[in-house]
Amino acid sequence: MYKVIVLDNIAQEGLDLLDAAEGIEYEVRTKLAGEELRSALAEFDGAICRSGVKITAESLEGNKRLKAIVRAGVGTDNIDKTASTRRGIIVMNTPAGNTLSTAEHTFALMLGLSRNVAPAHQSLKEHRWDRKAYMGTQLADKTLGVVGLGRIGQEVAKRARAFEMKVVGFDPFISAERAAELGIELVSQVTDMLPLIDYMTVHTPLTPETKGLINTSNLDKLKNGVRLVNCARGGIYSEAALIEGLKSGKIAGVALDVFDDEPCTESPLFEMDGVLCTPHLGASTEEAQTQVAVEAVQLLTNFLQTGEIRHAVNMAALDPKTLESLKGYLDIAYRLGRLLAQLNPEKAVSCKLIYRGEVADQNTKLLTSSFCAGLIEDAMQEEANIVNAQVILQDRGIQVSSESSSDRGAFNASVTAEVVTDGGRTLTASGTLFGNNMPRLIRLEDYRLEAYLDGVLFVFRHNDVPGIIGNVGSIFGKHNINIAQMAVGRSAPGGDAVGVMNLDSPPSQATIDDILSHPHITEIRLVQLPAAGQLPPWM
């Protein structure tokens, strides 16, 4: 008999499924924290939660029984996934459950903003009849910009097309074919869509790249009278930019369902005209709550009864012995993914992994998934790991393949990753393992070299002429940037070359501009990888 604890209130339909499940008994115990939560979790095989409970490392300390935690919803920030993995606990979520509700709420805000529904309603409550003051605008024939074309973004795009809107989209991980099926015109950068759109909605995670996506620096690029909607994560639009844009008239309206800090009851935006806000209601529908509850129960009962794992966000399902034998090359594949993601300014259309030597006899499917997880880690709203990374790429029309060869080449084992972009460019990087846990970059494009595959990598293309390396080193010295290691690969003496410097700290933009001013340096890319030995939580 398995025991399940339900830590937050979920829809009755989910509890009904637990009642009907054979070999499972459950308890609902909400509002637990601290020692009370730790003691409770130690008595159960599985747990279901929403966002109310915080499952920390301390909550799991000493736990030898809990096998799985299922989040009835998408975000798993309230669960310590690293601690869960170390305890052998699989963490799953229900990514599809609130898709339609969030897409519909996005449109509710767009329509409410366009037709001034909230202020017009308030005027009638105040016994005023003022049709002229609340003249609106229609959605038909307007252009909507969608940033993030995952499940929710695609559903929003479908509805926009039904409203006869033109849809412009940005997502580095959706194929041109899939976008065409949805009637979306893709752009290569978010800034490319800003002058074109009448409305903008974002459906991405909050990452360093998406934080302040609309800010005071790019505000002037927006079309006059644009309306902005955010049902994803607070902070994607800069509050200062929204206020400035509303005051100047550049922005005609703002609709927010999410905020930097929640709960949020105080904001200068709440006092401004043209603003429509709701308290994070994107997933707050009866249907969504029922769906995530039912899906969460199904995930947990299937796992406990059959061992089936779906929508896992960590790596507890992998056999510990297999994981230990693969860990070094899982790490290399993951780092190659992170590297190529940061080197590639274009959209990927396909990925290929080539395994040579001893590693070719291992479970290369896991290694390929590890590469995919690294490639998309900072670009997806879903949490990517070796369980779901390939599926996420395939959903966006990106082909993933691999091949193996027992031919060792120059090393006992190596992993090569190739990414083909929509511009027809192929980016290639190879890595190997020195010792048990020292990942090395041994090839970049057509250049052989040897560089540390960790920390801050300063990658620069240049002409192979005397003085380049000294010039770069002098500039770093002037800006107090220490070089830990350096490698250079070249096509031929006097030809093209690429340099990789491992730095102790990332250089400023001023430092980069200083180096770029050299006439023989043609391109610079800054790559930030985890420190040596630092593994993602699912590994």
Active site residues: 233, 262, 280
Q: Beta strands of 445-482 (E only): which ranges?
A: 447-452, 456-463
**Residue 96 CB partners (closer than 8 Å, separation 6+):** 151, 291, 295
3-class DSSP assignment, residue 116: coil
Cα angle: 42, vertex 46, 48; to 5 degrees: 110
Residue 107: name the closest of 169, 149, 184, 165 by CA. Answer: 165
Lookup result for tokens 């897409």: 103
132, two tokens: 């002229």
3-class DSSP assignment, residue 484: strand
Tell me the C-alpha distance between 201 and 98, whole Å.
Answer: 17
The CA-atom distances, in angstroms, between 362 and each of 47, 325, 339, 351, 408 are 33, 9, 23, 19, 14
Contact 59, 41 (CB under 8 A): yes
Based on the number of CB atoms within 10 Å of its own CB, is 260 exposed (0-12), middle (13-18) or buried (19 or more)? Answer: middle
Tell me the C-alpha distance between 458 and 455, whole Å.
Answer: 10
